Structure 1
Amino acid sequence: MKNVYMMLKNVWIFAFAAFMMSCGEQTNKNDTEMTETEVTVDSLLHFRNQNIKTDYLSRNFPDLEREKAAELQLAVLKKELDGGAVLAGWKMGGTVGDSASFDPLMGYMLKANEHFPGDKISIKKFPGSEVMIEGEVGFVFKQDFPNGVTSIEELKNGIDYAVGAIEFAQSNAIGIDNNPETANTNHVLAFGLGQAGFLLGNTKIDFADFNVAEEAVECFIDGEKAASGVSSRIYGGHLNALNALVNMLPKYGLMIKKGDVVITGSMYANPTVTGSAKVNLQFSSLGEIQLEILD
């Protein structure tokens, strides 16, 4: 009987040890996964802060999935906010592209990357020392939306005013050895959707008085018209893009807050600036914005 007891005791000891080892392996695996994510986030933040174009994502994450890309972007945002950065608002990739359906993509905007009318901005502030000049409409909110909205009317009631806006867009993400076929939208999303800065004009129109469907804009570079477009270039209109964002953020534990500005996508095919240039955007009702890009 004693021998049976000892045998059972040894079996239980062995089983317990095996269980603890498996727990340890799982813990080590989780620690490794966390470390890999942290390394990736640190790398993304480094490339963004240094304005470097890189094939880091296309090389290391060739099949990066949409949700993982969004999680990486928001992990970078969290690290920036923890470091003292201030969130100014959001961008939505609402411009009509080749897709047959609306594909809502978001990026965050920081106060540190805000510019102002009349500014002279070095081209070196942008990834690869080049930047697209996007003509957009900004919408400033007057209330929080912690749970999203259930109707377009509810959304409209939460918008304070509209303002002319420029997004300075240029992604850090490139393909392997600069081959564009090896980079995809999710690589761009993880890097913040090409958000390299923004500028709001001085003309504000109460949203109740703003003709949201009819706004138009012309872009002049060094005195020559480089692009023009209208609100209908935004897939389903500006409100469609805003509605998607307001309802998307809560699933990540985030929300639109009072004072946030959201830009919804370029209203024209974007010209790219690679050196010194004088830029002038003329909106149909939201006034004029002038700035200068310096070498």
Structure 2
Amino acid sequence: MVDTQIREFADRLYRAEKDLTVIPPLTNEVSDMAMDLAYEIQLLNVEKKRGQGDRVVGHKIGLTSKPMQTMLGVNEPDFGHLFASMHYQSGDVVDYPLIQPRVEPELAFVLQADLDGAQIGVQDVLQATRFVLPAVEIIDSRIADWKIKLADTIADNASSGCFVLSDTVTAIDQANLTTAGAILKKNGEIVETGAGAAVIGNPARAVAWLANKLSSLGTTLKKGDIILSGAVSRAVNVQAGDRVSLSFGPLGRVEFTMQAN
């Protein structure tokens, strides 16, 4: 791929997001697109949004489950950027412009110190974490019918939409990250359950992966960053007017309504 094609792909994704339309998979044209080139596409649109006044507040980690990695033929997660404009709190009506949204139950980490350097491990993550809290990530795709391969989702900011955070926070030393159980409901009915261990054995391990990945790309996780550590269950389709709630037991809950048409 040449620079002009990378920029063209970034422009297609940006226009699709703004116009609430979908495009064919980028991998229809470049079937063997490398991950580093897909991240270049992602970063072009990150910088464009920054230039328009939006602010990066953290990152999301995707593909943290073995079934998803197997489906896409990869052996590690991927990541995207979270912006201030994506942030909602429990109780909100989510009015973010979305195309084909799905919801995922997750644990979010908020950092009290930078996570810098190579070979970051779980203990480093725990020491750098201020608190954890339940979160629902509302993922979305600009690729038609979610027919994504790895490069498609990376280029598309890891299929990010927006996210909703709980009002309840728990100090990291009071949270059992692996056994914390989640119950996700839609319109009052249980649609998914899961536990923290579904995220590559420990959500903190996913955050450590992210810190090391960003270090290899010349950047770091910063104090105050919000990190969505990965879904503890499969994603669930939602539509306008749906009521969504997530309980993580003693760690707290999240609830919101998708804006009606």
TM-score scaled to structure 2, two decimals?
A: 0.90
In the alignment, structure 1 residue 66 sits paired with structure 2 residue 35: yes
Could you list the structure 1 runs, at least 4 aligned residues long, displaced by more than 6 angstroms after superposition.
none
Residue 58 (structure 2) aligned to one of 64, 89, 96: 89
Deviations 1:207-259 (A, max 9, x none): 12211111111111111111111112111211211110001112222210000
Flag the 1:261–1:149 CA change in 2: closer, same or farther, 3 A: farther
Distance in 2 (alpha carbons) for counterparts of 1:245 and 1:62: 26
- Distance in 2 between the 1:45 and 1:148 partners? 32
Q: Does 1:255 align with 2:255?
A: no
Matched, 1:172 2:142: yes
Displacement after TM superposition at 1:102 (Å): 4.2
User: Can you list the C-alpha shifts for 1:67-89, whole angstroms capped at 9, x where unaligned?
Assistant: 21112112221222222210011
- Which segment drifts farther, 144-153 or 68-77? 144-153
User: What is the Cα deviation at residue 198 of structure 1?
Assistant: 0.6
* Unaligned segments of structure 1, at least 5 residues: 1-31
- Which is helix-richer, 1 or 2? 1
CA distance change for structure 1 residues 196 and 99 in 2, over 3 Å: closer, same or farther?
closer
Q: In the TM superposition, what is the alpha-carbon distance from 1:38 to its structure 2 partner?
A: 2.7
CA RMSD of aligned residues (A): 2.1
Equivalent position SS for 2:130: strand
Cα 1:257–1:221 shift into 2, 3 Å: same
SS of aligned partner of 2:131:
strand
Q: Deviations over 1:254-286 (max 9, x none)?
A: 210000011111111222113321111111122
Deviation at 1:199, TM superposition (A): 1.1
Question: What are the superposed Cα offsets for residues 162-213 of structure 1, whole Å, 9 maximum, x if unpaired?
Answer: 0110100121123xxx694xx4121111101111001110000011221111
Could you tell me which runs of 5 or more consecutive residues in structure 2 were left unpaired when the two chains were aligned: none
Using the alignment, how far apart are the partners of 1:276 and 1:98 within structure 2?
Answer: 28
How has the CA–CA distance of structure 1 residues 238 and 39 changed in structure 2, closer, same or farther, with 3 Å as cutoff?
same
Cα 1:112–1:259 change in 2 (3 A) is same
Task: Give the match for residue 93 of structure 2.
Answer: 120
Cα–Cα, structure 1 residues 90 and 247, in superposed 2: closer, same or farther, change >3 Å?
same
Paired residue secondary structure (1:125): coil
Which residues in structure 2 correspond to 1:203-282 (within 5 Å)?
A: 203-282=168-247
| Candidates 26, 36, 48, aligned match of 2:5 | 36
Matched, 1:134 2:108: no
TM-score by length of 1: 0.80
Q: Does the 8 Å contact 2:178/2:201 carry over to 1?
A: no
Q: Secondary structure at the match of 1:164?
A: strand
Aligned counterpart, 2:158: 193
Change in Cα spacing, 1:151 to 1:135, as seen in structure 2 (3 Å) is closer
Identity fraction in percent: 20
AA matched with 1:217:
A
Structure 1 residues 79 and 217: CA distance shift in structure 2, 3 A: same
Q: CA deviation at 1:116?
A: 1.7
